[in-house]
Amino acid sequence: MLQRTTELFRSRRFDYIIPYYKNQTFQQALTAGQLTTLNLSNISGDVVYLDIAIRSSYVQDDLSHYQPIASFQYQNQEGVGISGQQFIDDQFSRHIMYPKQNEGTFTRNRRFYRHVFADSNVAPKALLEQDLKLGAYPFDSHCNLLMNNAQAGSNEVWSLSQSSTTAPTAGNIIWGWVTPDDSI
């Protein structure tokens, strides 16, 4: 066993790398329910994972609260899906893939979409904590992110009917609500 491991280390080149962060910011209006295509011209080189966070602004609560998208797909220059055959929807990304590949419960209530290109569930953590690249997709600045924007929300409507016999003739009505786990 030890001999085989030693031979493996001698025969293979292991890459110890510094994770290098690239960031591409788009400032544009998104139309609810429509497809948005973004050219990731700033993203080139081996990419272990990519994150999507859509902020309404860069102030106060919007710094840590992000807007939803219905589904997304990464495509190469030829329009071939490189994140899979189909679009990855919000639920699958946040509640199935994220907990498999990351720690914590950040996406439980946050519209944060991470896609891991490496064929390893521990790839993000290995990259950030051990300088290990366990797989990556070679981006070439011509790849695209396609997003189906979330449908427009609708206001929740509650109606209140007053009793004709017991209703007060004056006063105030106050609505209160509780979101115990900060669901949004």
Partner 1 sequence: MADFYGKIGLLTPTVSIAPRDTGPANPTASITMLGGQQLEVPTFQVPTRNPYRISNVWRYPFSGQYGNTLTTGGQAQCPIIRGSGSGHVQKAWLRIQVQNQGTSNVEMQPVPLWIQSTQWQTPSGATIQNPTGSHLWFNLVTTTPMEEWWEVSKAVAADLDYETGDPVPPNAVVTYYIPLIGSFLSAGGFFIPAVSGGMRCTLPSGQMEAFEAPEPVLKPLPS
CB atoms within 10 A of CB 93: 22
Kindly write down the DSSP assignment for every residue of 106-141, as one continuous string.
GGGSS-EEEEE-SS-TTHHHHHHHH-B----EEEES
Tell whether residue 112 is a contact of partner 1 (CB under 8 A): yes
Nearer of residues 1 and 152 to partner 1, judged by Cβ: 1
- Burial code of 10-31, b = ≥16 C-beta within 10 A, e = fewer? eeeeeeeeeeeeeeeeeeeeee
Specify the stretch interacting with partner 1 by CB under 8 A; choose among 7-15, 35-43, 61-69, 159-167.
Answer: 61-69
Those residues whose C-beta lies under 8 Å from the C-beta of residue 2, and which sit 6 or more positions away, are: none
What's the residue count for the chain? 184
CB nearer to partner 1: pick between 156 and 181: 181
Size of the site for partner 1 (CB under 8 A): 38
Q: Distance between the two ends of the chain, CA-based, in angstroms? A: 52
CB of residue 59 vs partner 1: minimum separation in angstroms?
4
> Judged by CB, which is closer to partner 1: 109, or 148?
109
Query: Which of 19, 33 has the CB closer to partner 1?
Result: 19
| Residue ranges that bind partner 1, judged by CB under 8 A | 1, 4, 16, 18-21, 23, 51, 53, 58-61, 63-64, 76, 80, 82, 102-106, 109-110, 112, 114, 124-125, 127-131, 137, 181-182
